[in-house]
Amino acid sequence: MSDRYLVTGGARLSGEVFVGGAKNSVLKLMAAALLAEGRTVLTNVPEIADVPLMAEVLRGLGAEVETRGDRVVIDSPAMPEYHADFDAVKQFRASVCVLGPLMARCRKAIVALPGGDAIGSRPLDMHQSGLRALGAHSAIEHGCVVAEADRLTGAEVALEFPSVGATENILMAAVLADGVTTIDNAAREPEIVDLCQLLNQMGARVSGLGSSTLTVVGVDALAPTTHHVVGDRIVAGTWGIAAAMTRGDVTVRGIDSRHLNLVLGKLEHAGAQVRRLDDGFRVTQDRRPEAVNTATLPFPGYPTDLQPMAIGLAAISEGLSLITENVFEARFRFVEEMQRLGADARTDGHHAVIRGVPELSSAPVWSSDIRAGAGLVLAGLVADGVTEVHDIEHIDRGYPHFEENLRRLGGTIERISG
């Protein structure tokens, strides 16, 4: 049996919580270390389960990796191995981000199709078409992405959708390609900007950071560097929404609040008082939240990773909320678990209609992914009695010191093993 949480409802969260580096950035930064021979150091690394998993992937490719607290040291070899096998990558989706660096360094890559969260289809078509535009041959063979090129040449790449993963892989392949590459309709997430900043520190020539068009002038070689990982806006947003749901008062530090402008604006519409700080924000909610509509979109839109928390907030708000999911079609699995807790919610395609109730009722629930797990814990905080949240290994992959931080804010949570 997997571990589970026992969450006691009724607590009003109050206090201060620090957010470490972003899960959605650090794993890609670790992969980018393969682009330069020598020692790259990452600081502000979150203590989450996916970091040692990525370390194992890199070790399988010939790198030496040392993890110590919030630091990761990666010593990349003169020539990495090019085959990331299934055992290394099956446990999490981000492992596919080694594809771009391996093509850049080795001109060849074999990467097993990755595993990860059950939130819907995430095909690699755009990753492959981008590499083909740079001159590679790429196909799916025997459960692996297989790519090879005699040389990579800069090209104009137009993405059908601003895919974060495709943007990252094409970007990392292009930094060592001949000539100039432009990526149109590129993802604009802060984690993409963080990757670009690391690459430029290593000697790459990437411009257009934060815009939908990235321009990459290829260089002959990169050098290792030291880099501070950007703060995790998804973890920060989770704590901010938790404050609103529990009618609490929580200060979140370690994050640029501009990365959550839309989320914080939604909390203000729900009746919260939000104060932006130099290194974070403070959310205070002194009455029952009001219903707000939310639609997920690529950055700067509302993050799909915070959709479960939006549903949790809607479930106990006053009025009717419409939640629209535009990114991952299977993310509404979360609604079924919320219904176990007494949420008045219905789904229809990409939409969920939720009529808020004053209080949820405790029940056993199951996590299907990282964010669903955290969302169910938040729902347990506003349910009567004790809610059992199962399959919490998902939460460990994205939230460092989750139960410790929750207890520090006044929540009652107990981890049961086995």
- Does residue 297 carry a pLDDT above 70? yes
> Among residues 50, 75, 87, 117, which one is catalytic?
117
Q: What are phi and psi of 274, to 5 degrees?
A: -120, 125
Instruction: Categorize the per-residue pLDDT at 1 as very low, low, confident or very high, splitting at 50, 70 and 90.
Output: low
The whole-number pLDDT of residue 118 equals 45
Contact 27, 415 (CB under 8 A): no
Q: What is the pLDDT of residues 327-351, one digit of tens each?
A: 877 778 899 999 999 999 999 989 9
Q: CA–CA distance from 365 to each of 336, 356, 391 (Å)?
A: 9, 19, 9
Q: What is the pLDDT of residues 147-162, one digit of tens each?
A: 999 999 999 999 999 9
3-state secondary structure 213-240: EEEEECCCCCCCCEEECCECHHHHHHHH
* Mean of pLDDT values over 238-264: 98
User: How many residues belong to the chain?
Assistant: 418
Range in 75-84, 120-129, 253-262 with the lowest mean pLDDT: 120-129
Instruction: Categorize the per-residue pLDDT at 119 as very low, low, confident or very high, splitting at 50, 70 and 90.
Output: very low
Instruction: Categorize the per-residue pLDDT at 3 as very low, low, confident or very high, splitting at 50, 70 and 90.
Output: very high
Residues linked to residue 202 through DSSP beta bridges, in sequence order: none
Q: What is the pLDDT of residues 359-412, one digit of tens each?
A: 999 999 999 999 999 999 999 999 999 999 999 999 999 999 999 999 999 999
Q: Binding residue per annotation — 205?
A: no
Range in 90-99, 171-180, 301-310, 314-323 with the lowest mean pLDDT: 90-99
- Does residue 232 carry a pLDDT above 90? yes
The whole-number pLDDT of residue 117 equals 43
The whole-number pLDDT of residue 142 equals 84
87 alpha carbon, distance to own chain's centre: 22
Determine whether 87 is an active site residue: no
Q: Binding residue per annotation — 24?
A: yes
Domains and CATH numbers, the chain: 4-20+231-416 (3.65.10.10), 23-228 (3.65.10.10)
Percent of all residues in the chain with a pLDDT value above 70, rounded to a whole number: 95
Q: Binding residue per annotation — 327?
A: yes
Q: Binding residue per annotation — 75?
A: no
The model's pTM: 0.95
Residues linked to residue 321 through DSSP beta bridges, in sequence order: 354
Collapsing DSSP to helix, strand or coil, 276 comes out as strand
Q: Binding residue per annotation — 23?
A: yes
Give the burial string for 162-173 (b: 16+ CB within 10 Å, else e): bbbbbbbbbbbb
